[in-house]
A and B are shown apart, each in its own frame.
Chain A
């Protein structure tokens, strides 16, 4: 294989951001966890369902050689993880900046 497959390519891209967010803003993230934590799986489920529609409609498709081969219906498990991690990066990023520079 002369290129990265989806799963490591995704993890190397997203995990450092999530790690830095927790290193920098763990105080806010932990204190506010009851408020934001449910938004992440909520968005993940919503975008996974939307993704299933897009894949079924043929808007985008994946190279099956680059996937680990676990699927949730038409959606590769990597894609579910993508929505989980992007939702985490965005929601946590907002919580930290919103609470962090409170005027």
Chain B
């Protein structure tokens, strides 16, 4: 197996499956921006570290198993590994965080549509709520004055 084959098998294919599973959920500008920036930061932070490890000989790659190119002392496949690992971790975390958000949103809209089939939960609170409040003896007088002022103005 070559380094490119390794990337395909262990990174590209799992990432492809994840993308296929999430599909339009990934068309989220905030996710795309954060994923892009974090991947870039990961590459920039990894490169000098990996470079020094390579020139010190902490680890090395066999030319017979890679494209044989070096950017700094690092094969291009290594940059791809870093970028794909970042995308895989970020996208998996995104999938898990937003799965729960979706569950919450679904249950919210479900419960409100059960109470009111016209889906009016987005409408402002009914006027009498405010009215009730102003005539309660315990409410602060400023609330009453504010309401009176508004009524005078209109």
- Interface on A for B, CB 8 Å cutoff? 3-6, 9, 13, 17, 32, 35-36, 39, 43, 47, 50, 53-54, 57-63, 66, 86-87, 89-91, 93-95, 97-99, 101, 103
Contact of B6 among A5, A57, A86 (CB under 8 A): A57
- Interface on B for A, CB 8 Å cutoff? 1-3, 6, 10, 30-31, 34-35, 37-38, 41-42, 45, 49, 52-53, 56-62, 64-66, 85-86, 88-90, 92-94, 96-97, 100
**Nearest CB on A from B52, distance (A):** 8
Q: How far is A60 from B34 in the complex, measured between Cα atoms in Å?
A: 31
Q: How far is A83 from B86 in the complex, measured between Cα atoms in Å?
A: 11
Question: 13 extra interchain contacts, Cβ-Cβ under 8 A, other than A60-B60, A63-B60?
Answer: A9-B49, A39-B89, A50-B10, A57-B6, A59-B3, A59-B65, A62-B58, A90-B86, A91-B89, A93-B41, A94-B35, A94-B38, A98-B97
Question: Are A63 and B58 neighbours in the complex by a CB distance under 8 Å?
Answer: yes
Q: How far is A42 from B62 in the complex, measured between Cα atoms in Å?
A: 28
Contacts of B35 in A (CB 8 A): 94
Question: Are A94 and B65 neighbours in the complex by a CB distance under 8 Å?
Answer: no
Q: Chain A interface mostly helix, strand, loop or mixed? A: helix
Contacts of A53 in B (CB 8 A): 1, 6, 10
Q: How far is A53 from B100 in the complex, measured between Cα atoms in Å?
A: 34
